[in-house]
Structure 1
Amino acid sequence: MWSTSTWQHLRLPFSFFLLPIYLFALSVSPQIDWGKASLAFIALHLFIYPASNGFNSYYDKDEKSIGGVEKPLPVSNELLNASLIFDLIGLNIGFLAGWEFALALFIYGLASKGYSHPAIRLKKYPIISLLTIAFFQGAFTFLATYQVVNQVPIKQLTENPILLPACLSSLMLLGSYPMTQIYQHEEDSKRGDKTMSLLLGIQGTFIYTISVFGLATAGFAYFYYTYFSLLSAISFLVALSPVLLFFFSWFLKTLKNEQEANFKNTMRLNMISAICLNVFYIIFYFCVQY
């Protein structure tokens, strides 16, 4: 039985915040193989994502709040072993869904390990690390999920109706990911890491996110209007309205007191965003399909 610390750093509940990309891919899928979709969900959200969390936590050895954990416990070698075991299980489950999906999971795992491993440590390079996260957690995961649940040839993934939402997934992450780093400036500085949020500063992170997230939102509205309907586009904007309201309210508080850029407010934004997007994608799928 693994220790409490190991389970804490695997951060299984944090997978909920990464669920929107998976559900987005399902929501625009014409012919879902639910058996493959179930295997993909289990592999990604119960094993590959937690494995990535644990691996990066092991090398980061954070003493202050991290994503989903306000007070992290000290890590041990057990965490590294657990993360590798989770990786192996996730890859095997992914292989049951399809070799292409398993290969995608393997590539994703390598990229995620490079984020914190001392031999590469992408966290030291703000732009490279942001682009890597945005691509692999966004477009790459969207395309891998779409391919396995629809069982389409890989070459078909380059078609515009599929490629456009994949790119929008990455654009959304390009805008939102620095917000997840906004409360970690002190600890990142101590380790010599230079995240995008640290580079931009607290107010700069908010302004950057407003700009890029706004562009991504317009792109999503265009996608839904072009390939579905005006009602779909409007519904997406309505679904995001709680996120925007909280974001601007938080920004105004932070302008008065930068201490508001803390763990609790960041997690609130993540939770509101994940709930709004997850619920929208589920409702959208059933409205379109049925």
Structure 2
Amino acid sequence: MKKSTILHLRIPFSFFLLPVFLLAVAVSEHIHQQNLILSFFILHLLVYPASNGYNSYFDKDEGSIGGLKHPPKVSRQLYYVSLLMDALGLALALVISFEFLLMIFIYGAVSKAYSHPSIRLKKYPLIGWLAAGVFQGYFTFLLSYIAVNDISFSESLNWSIQFPGILSTMLLLGSYPMTQIYQHDEDMKRGDITISQKLGILGTFHFTALSFMISSGGFFFYFMNEFSLNTGLLFSAAMFPVLLYFGSWYFRVRNDRTKADYSSTMRLNLISSAVLNAFFIYLRLS
């Protein structure tokens, strides 16, 4: 396999998407161990990398992208490998349940529609933003919860399950524009109009800050009611490093717009993913 293909799969980038899965695990009541391991493998080592590769193949970025500061040129092999990984993910999903298979298929279809030139949801600011937020948040939480608990879709239509799924989408809808903040020029060259472009650099920061406050308040309320006041307070404390870095970066960008760059964006992603992953693991084990 070509080195460029492996790099564009961006497997380490799955770490940034792991919090939604771990949230589903953390709030699960009856964990099915085999399904837990298998669904983790399907999502983070097959479906997400396949989506990354498929997106890279059609974007053909020359500038930095999520997880790759200097992306190499893509080859046709990347296209076929991404489809093969998708197919393998679907085959393994059937081991868990047909409903899980169907949800993985829908996730993959939306992911492809996001970047394929015949549809390319990415070029529509509101639709692209909602598709990413809903499917990487609520939808992924739901399919993860269904798999991990070995339940049917109808059994997941409970407010105590639906609410954290909705909160995960709220958090992603706020943070997603930040992942686009350094790609304005690259996106404009391809004719893509992102929500971050519409908001502007400082507007993206302001929008994310407001969304972060709302979603964090929602999570505090959820953890306080479903677990305890201390759990809610601990979640708020865990998010403090994210708030601290975000604030310091914001003031740097106010003085110099070029500071809204790839490295700073990846650093924010790393900090937020690390603290969320750590908190959800702690919650599961406590």
TM-score range, shorter chain: over 0.9
Alpha-carbon shift at residue 214 of structure 1 (Å) = 1.0
More moved, 135-144 vs 89-98: 89-98
Deviations along 1:146-170, one digit per CA (max 9) or x if unpaired, are 1111112211212110000000010
Q: Which deviates the most, 144-153 or 107-116?
A: 144-153
- How many residues are treated as equivalent by the alignment? 286
Partner of residue 48, structure 1:
47
Match of 2:279 in 1: 280
Q: Is the 8 A contact 2:99 2:152 kept in 1?
A: no
| Structure 1 consecutive aligned stretches of length 4 or more whose deviation exceeds 6 Å | none
Q: Is the 8 A contact 2:4 2:74 kept in 1?
A: yes
Give 1:155's aligned residue.
154
Matched ranges for 1:88-127 at <5 A: 88-127=87-126
2:82 maps to 83
Residue equivalent to 2:178: 179
Alignment of 1:14-25 (within 5 A): 14-25=13-24
Q: Which runs of 5+ in 1 are unaligned?
A: none
Output the CA distance in 2 between the equivalents of 1:153 and 1:102: 12
Give how far 1:100 is off: 1.3
Counterpart Cα distance in 2 of 1:10 and 1:148? 24
Counterpart residue type for residue 42 of structure 1: F
- Using the alignment, how far apart are the partners of 2:9 and 2:138 within structure 1? 24
> How many angstroms apart in 1 are the aligned matches of 2:229 and 2:153?
30
SS in 2 for 1:136: helix
Q: Percent identity between the aligned chains?
A: 49
Task: With the length of structure 1 as denominator, give the TM-score of the two structures.
Answer: 0.98
Amino acid at match of 1:149: V
Alpha-carbon distance in 2 for matches of 1:102, 1:193: 31
The alpha-carbon deviation at position 91 of structure 1 amounts to: 1.1
| Native 8 Å contact 2:51 2:112 kept in 1 | yes
The answer to whether structure 1 residue 201 and structure 2 residue 196 are counterparts is: no
In the TM superposition, what whole-angstrom CA distance separates every residue of 1:7-61 from its partner, at most 9, and x where no partner exists?
1110000000000000000000011001001000000000000000000100000
For normalisation by structure 2, the TM-score amounts to: 0.99
Matches within 5 A, 1:233-272: 233-272=232-271
CA distance, structure 1, for counterparts of residue 96 and residue 21 of structure 2: 15
Classify the secondary structure of the residue corresponding to 1:210.
helix
For residues 213-228 of structure 1, what are the structure 2 equivalents within 5 Å?
A: 213-228=212-227
The alpha carbon displacement at 1:188 in A equals 0.3
In the alignment, which residue of structure 1 is the partner of 2:3?
4
Structure 2 Cα separation of the partners of residues 262 and 244 of structure 1? 18
Q: 2:41 and 2:264 mapped to 1: Cα distance?
A: 29
